[in-house]
Structure 1
Amino acid sequence: MSDSSRNYENFIELRKRDSSFIWTSRKLNPQLAYYQGIPRPTPIFHKQNVLNSPRIQELLDNISKKQNVSKLVLEEKVLSVLDEIGYNKNLKVIRWLGLVLVEICLRMSTGIYVNVDNLLKLKTEMGNCPVIFVPSHRSYADFILMSYLCFTYDIEIPAIAAGMDFHGMWGMGNMLRDTGAFFMRRSYNDDDLYWAVFKQYIYQLVTKGDLPIEFFIEGTRSRSNKSLIPKYGLISMILKAFFFGEVPDIKFVPINISYDRILEESLFAFELLGVPKPKESTSGFFKSLKVIKENFGKIYFHFGQPISAKRFFGDKLERSVHNMGPLHVQEMTEKEKAVIPSLAHTIVHTQQKCGVINVFNLVALILNDNLVNSKELLTVKELIEEVYWLKDVIQKLGAFVYTENIENSVDECFVVHKNLIEVQPNNRIRLVHNNIILDKIHSSKLKAHSLSEKCMTFSVPFVMLQMYINPSLHYFLDVALIVVILKYQQDLDAEELFNKYHFLRSLFSVEFVTILPWVKMEFHNALQYSTVLNLIQLTSANSYILGNNGKLENFLCTMLEPFMLSYYIAVVVLEESPVIIDEETVLVNSQKILEDKINNGNEFVHPYSLNLDSLTNCLNVLVTLGALSKTRSRNKITYEIRRQEIVPIKEKLRNYMSYCCSEDSCIKMKYLKNKL
């Protein structure tokens, strides 16, 4: 990634210099995504085109005959669905919202940064084909700030795919719709007419629209602050227009949005432990505005290089097959469907490469290692020294760390994250623990095991700290897996090492997003990085052994500990369960075992191992690996366990456990309690 792509501009700083009201009231001449002629399409135009499209009209004719329902009644139903789905644009609402956002951002943030060179280059290239913004999704603030950024740089505010959670919020749903949001149901309960109308609406926006389209390929906010496996639904609908030859190209723009501090951090920590997400409501939104009194540090937007569908697919596809008959009766070919996952994963991978690592990500890694490894609590001076060391390591692994001065950035961490870390009178750093009253978080509604107040109080700070470790883990993961393998078997040739690496990488392919065709490439890259960092050496016999970087070696093992433990416990629970078991029971039993280990104090168990994301990811990947078969009925998920597949996985994992979860865990736990 070139240096120019990392030229960041603090665009909120510009608002301190002039009148926000004059700025939001300025004459706008926004850049369009795909301008096809005059007049510009309106929201009403899009709805009418969907209703009158041959696909929808033919569907209505068929339903009318089968169900003996008047076609006019069905058309009214389609218009009602379109009113539920469709976006609107109200410039007055956009301007007033822009004015409010300026004031909120100036209070909450010390800077909102964007790699301005890439953004302006993208702006000059817009206008020839549909442009799709694909940001990472870590906060509800993502889509609001994306629209604010577009308004700032005079790019037409995109049509944004939003969940129905917001649709029912009094006042908020209409405001979001007026600023470009269109709404989609998370499930359509076999309502084929709704599904057909929604797909046709997307097709309409891509082929006849002039706005960029924005959607979150991960489907939902990542509570863990890690990348999630991409969803293929919306990207498939968007690509249909390209596959059918209705547009010359489609440009997907991967965008990484990184936060010094996430607005929903405590909410996410509780969700990861099983506390249900509160229902979105307008009153809840206004209650949440109390956070504007707090300092959330910096926010970073990084626009990656656009991915052209035409160049990406090249000659892999033969689009002329869709010239054989009317388009409205055609569907994507199996070959077209098969290439979509590769593009989706490439977008997520590019989002990761565009990430900005902030100093607190490094601080979180260092504090975690310090807390769980029986070390004396760090002083501020020692922490700064460790940050310098880790910054050098992670940059060698390809990360970009944004800081102008490490000492100042560390000081800022104590201000921004004062709810999580603090400096004691003896100048040593500790986690902040606040007593948690489960009555306030409806313990009876927990998604899995009803964790005790004692366990919650102990675990939440560790889970929150881990959320700031997670954005950096994809840089370390592959070299960490190689280290753990060689700790167990000290001398392996390249083929043997790859086979063991392939097993672990496949097992964690949902936890740390990858697709199996990339694993060989990731392995070879990891060998190179591991050699540069002196983690491994190649012997004269052409086999690999551990190198002489014990400090980093142990650091990497600590990173993997909670994930290895979560997966191992889940597999143990499955091995000891009946052949048929429901998902909730697996989660409950896994959390119960982990909580008992945490509460009895006889051994150290990393509290992040309790998180439901990892336990669920484990179940999903075991389905992919053929160790479980999954059935969903009436909102209940059940699994059939194939023990002949589960047992070997458990045994392989057990081999690595002692190298990730230290054998002196009892001593660690007692020492940790003294420190905290």
Structure 2
Amino acid sequence: MLRHEFFLHNPYSSYIPTFLLLKITSKPKYYVLIYLKSLLILTNQLNQGYVMSGASSADLSVVLKQLSEECREECDVDQIAAALPEDLLEESDLTVSLEDEGEGGEVENLLIHGYKSEIKWSLKDYRPPRYTYVRYRVPSMIREEVLQSNRVRRVISMLCKETGRSKDQLDKEATDILEEMGHEFSMTILRFLGGLIRKVFKQIITDVTVHTEGIKELRRLSSQKPLLLIPTHRSYLDFILVTWLLYSYDIKTPVIAAGQDFMFMKGVGMLLRRCGAYFIRRSFGKDKLYWALFTEYTQTHIINGDAPVEFFIEGTRSRTGKSLQPKFGMLTIALEPFFDARVSDVAICPITLSYEKTVEENLHVREMMGIPKPKESTTGLIKARAILDNNYGRIHVKAGQIISVYEAAVGKVDRKLRAVVPRAIIPSVHPHERTFVNELAYRILLEQQANAVVFPCSVLAAVLLLHIKKKVWSLDLCKAESELMWACDLLIKMGCNLVWDRKQSCMDHVIRMLSPVVYCEEGHVIVHKTPPTAVYLSSSVFKQCNSLISLGRRRNEFMHSLIHVAMLAKILFHPKSKERTLEQYQRLRDIMQYEFVFMPDSAPADFDKATKQLINLDLVKLTDNVYKFVDMEVKDFLVSLIDPFLITYMDSWQFCISYMPRTLQHSQSLKNLCKRIQTYISVLYCEPYLYGESINLNVIENSILVLAKLSLVSLDKGKTQVFCVDPFLFSNTIREFALTIHPMTSKL
């Protein structure tokens, strides 16, 4: 957690305008100078002798922007300190403390990194380290080498025999696909767009905090190994931020695997292509030629080291605020050159992007209720210019621990098995390689989650949802602040990376980050039952759920840190033996396997870790091998985090028991089934008792996927058609699940 503290006392007012530094308690020096100059201005505004405590970078953002260019000038801090009178240093009339209480090391604000002028920043001397074995190639050369690669030539020859098409026809099709897919990287366009985006970000973002330790390590390795950059995916801004970050720190900007949706945006698609994006179809099934071209195009950048390759392990944006289950296809393709020994090692860098408020939040809420996502278009982008009038708070960027694939594969992957396969044959992925890729994908996701930052607005959302469950939609401001501080303290004890300072009253900012769903009026924090963003909905139930889903999405941003203890809190509604608790924990974990990311086969280890954490915090007592939850206030808070999912699952399964098709001949589409369940639940409850998750199609679909995983229902290969396998077994199993969750919810 970052904490900024300032203590100002000025007995030597005559020295302050002359000297900038009196004592530095930590680095980075650049930030110290900025803060000092900002405080000097504030001192002049607030009179000499004024004492200020608890100010943060957000409070000084305006002053920081005005002073960034001046503070950028070279300045020897130690020399300034040495020039001050000794008695002045001893008195310490100005002390600045900038500390990082986590493992992040030094931090910088990307908005004021480098030049103040966007033009100077765009035209800066950019000399990133190059991969040692790189061979310079322009985009047209890359496409030609892909076209002439052994894999592509072999697939074309095979398709000639299978389809009867001529080699020239297939060559032309392959050329057209590569022209459609490939990037046309241009440093000039990248510099121009970078300056423009930096200007926009300064208007809509308070600050972009970067943990520089991981970035420095990434820069060091960029000349030694091919790089895979795998950021979290919560917003359209993700790939923009990563490219901007690498350019700012003189690291080779990546080529980015992007969906074809962006390619059809007039003008925008071309600009993205010039910035390193290569476009792939959302699905290409059994198209062997496309598979070969896409695989070879991705791998040639890794083998030659032209640029880092960036893609999202989750496959698509997470609308729910939680991490999605990993997709293994792209990672398998990226690691195949390592399995083939065409590269000695690959470095994987998980990058966590934490947003205080995403620009697409309202769009995500609509999609979760089943309203189709508008098609990406340049016209839609122009219409969205209203976002420039809003402020979206802070963004935290952290490059996680870089994973060496060579080291991770020791004892798990035997590359000799591929060595005996002739190069002319396209090898298939061995089972042990697939297992390794799956484990690595989960490791990457969990590393991303471990580095995620939690903002107070997400915690306030959880507090408000706890009161809404009690039919309270308005909360006294002082009570809301008190409960927020209590919840933040709890999350810090639980190990969350929370941006929080108890000394600073930040309720105005926190509430602003939850608007328009939450607002403050006459000393009360009020949740809109029908916020302005819900005008497109006709049903009053759906309008109310607009607020609930929005708050639930914010709460989900820290659920990964508390899910294990929340499940234990739910299970321990009365004392249980250790063996019984573990058994029910594993069962509940099976139920929640699509909602949250769990490392496979790690249930006992996760259980031990969670129980030890609760015992160490004196929340749970272990007596005579029996667990008992002793802090009811914490227990109620933790249970409120997981209850909305479990109640929605129960209601969904209740519908399935009564209405699920019994045979394949009478099956229905998964999409239509989820819509029917959504309608059923919205009618089932009166408004005050409805959870936001109750009509969230993502949660409803996950409840059906769990049944399929447990072989209680059957899905076709494309996960489009669903029917019940054994109604009797289905009903009995669901009742067992209900008893695991809580006797009060076993109404089935």
Specify if TM > 0.5: yes
Structure 1 residues 502 and 176, CA, compared in 2 at 3 Å: closer, same or farther?
same
Q: 1:612 aligns with which of 697, 703, 711?
A: 697
Q: 2:733 aligns with which of 636, 643, 649?
A: 649
Does the CA contact (< 8 Å) of 1:113 and 1:299 recur in 2?
Answer: yes
Deviation of residue 521 (structure 1)?
Answer: 1.1
Deviation string 1:370-427 (CA, Å, 9 cap, x unpaired) is 22225584322222222222222112222111134564433211233331211121x1
Deviation string 1:71-93 (CA, Å, 9 cap, x unpaired) is 22211211111111111211121
Q: Distance in 1 between matches of 2:117 and 2:355?
A: 27
For these two proteins, the number of residue pairs brought into alignment is 642
Percent of aligned positions that are identical: 27
Does the CA contact (< 8 Å) of 1:89 and 1:177 recur in 2?
Answer: yes
Deviation of residue 331 (structure 1)?
Answer: 2.2
Q: Distance in 1 between matches of 2:107 and 2:653?
A: 45
Determine the structure 2 residue equivalent to 1:465. 551
3-state DSSP of counterpart to 2:185: coil
Structure 1 residues 659 and 356, CA, compared in 2 at 3 Å: closer, same or farther?
farther
Instruction: Identify unmatched segments of 5+ residues in structure 2.
Output: 2-100
Q: How does 1:101-140 map to 2 (within 5 A)?
A: 101-140=197-236
Q: Distance in 2 between matches of 1:381 and 1:414?
A: 13
Deviation string 1:328-369 (CA, Å, 9 cap, x unpaired) is 412221211122111001100110001001111111111111
Deviation of residue 538 (structure 1)?
Answer: 1.0
Deviation string 1:208-248 (CA, Å, 9 cap, x unpaired) is 23211110000000000100000001000011011111111
Does the CA contact (< 8 Å) of 2:303 and 2:342 recur in 1?
Answer: yes
Deviation of residue 121 (structure 1)?
Answer: 2.2
Determine the structure 2 residue equivalent to 1:564. 646
Determine the structure 2 residue equivalent to 1:522. 606
Q: Distance in 2 between matches of 1:656 and 1:592?
A: 27
Deviation of residue 608 (structure 1)?
Answer: 2.3
Determine the structure 1 residue equivalent to 2:627. 544
Does the CA contact (< 8 Å) of 1:388 and 1:406 recur in 2?
Answer: no
Q: How does 1:338-353 map to 2 (within 5 A)?
A: 338-353=435-450
Does the CA contact (< 8 Å) of 2:570 and 2:742 recur in 1?
Answer: no
Q: 1:584 aligns with which of 653, 668, 671?
A: 671
3-state DSSP of counterpart to 1:517: coil
Determine the structure 1 residue equivalent to 2:35. none
Determine the structure 2 residue equivalent to 1:239. 335
Q: Distance in 2 between matches of 1:318 and 1:324?
A: 12
Deviation string 1:517-559 (CA, Å, 9 cap, x unpaired) is 11111111111122123332111x2221222x11111111111
3-state DSSP of counterpart to 2:601: helix
Determine the structure 2 residue equivalent to 1:674. none
Determine the structure 1 residue equivalent to 2:189. 93
Determine the structure 2 residue equivalent to 1:669. none
Instruction: Identify unmatched segments of 5+ residues in structure 1.
Output: 442-450, 664-676
Deviation of residue 455 (structure 1)?
Answer: 1.5
Q: Distance in 1 between matches of 2:475 and 2:617?
A: 24
Does the CA contact (< 8 Å) of 1:87 and 1:181 recur in 2?
Answer: yes
How does the TM-score come out when normalised to structure 2? 0.82
Deviation of residue 294 (structure 1)?
Answer: 0.3
Deviation of residue 502 (structure 1)?
Answer: 0.3
3-state DSSP of counterpart to 1:160: strand
Deviation of residue 182 (structure 1)?
Answer: 0.8
Determine the structure 2 residue equivalent to 1:367. 464
Structure 1 residues 177 and 91, CA, compared in 2 at 3 Å: closer, same or farther?
same
Q: How does 1:270-669 map to 2 (within 5 A)?
A: 270-329=366-425, 330-374=427-471, 377-404=474-501, 407-425=504-522, 427-434=523-530, 452-487=538-573, 490-539=574-623, 541-547=624-630, 549-576=631-658, 577-580=660-663, 581-582=667-668, 583-598=670-685, 600-601=686-687, 604-632=689-717, 636-655=720-739
Structure 1 residues 431 and 437, CA, compared in 2 at 3 Å: closer, same or farther?
closer
3-state DSSP of counterpart to 2:326: coil
Does the CA contact (< 8 Å) of 2:531 and 2:547 recur in 1?
Answer: no
Q: Distance in 1 between matches of 2:626 and 2:163?
A: 70
Does the CA contact (< 8 Å) of 1:88 and 1:179 recur in 2?
Answer: yes
How does the TM-score come out when normalised to structure 1? 0.91
3-state DSSP of counterpart to 1:429: strand
Q: Does 1:12 align with 2:96?
A: no
Does the CA contact (< 8 Å) of 2:531 and 2:546 recur in 1?
Answer: no
Higher mean C-alpha deviation, range 217-226 or range 492-501: 492-501
Q: How does 1:54-203 map to 2 (within 5 A)?
A: 54-203=150-299
Q: Distance in 1 between matches of 2:700 and 2:139?
A: 43
Q: Distance in 1 between matches of 2:618 and 2:274?
A: 56
Does the CA contact (< 8 Å) of 2:110 and 2:208 recur in 1?
Answer: yes
Q: Distance in 2 between matches of 1:662 and 1:120?
A: 54
Higher relative contact order (CA closer than 8 Å, sequence separation 6+): 1
More helix by share: 1
Determine the structure 1 residue equivalent to 2:24. none
Deviation string 1:477-500 (CA, Å, 9 cap, x unpaired) is 11121122121xx23222211111
Determine the structure 1 residue equivalent to 2:142. 46
Q: Distance in 2 between matches of 1:151 and 1:97?
A: 12
Deviation of residue 41 (structure 1)?
Answer: 2.4
Does the CA contact (< 8 Å) of 2:128 and 2:250 recur in 1?
Answer: yes
Deviation of residue 147 (structure 1)?
Answer: 0.9
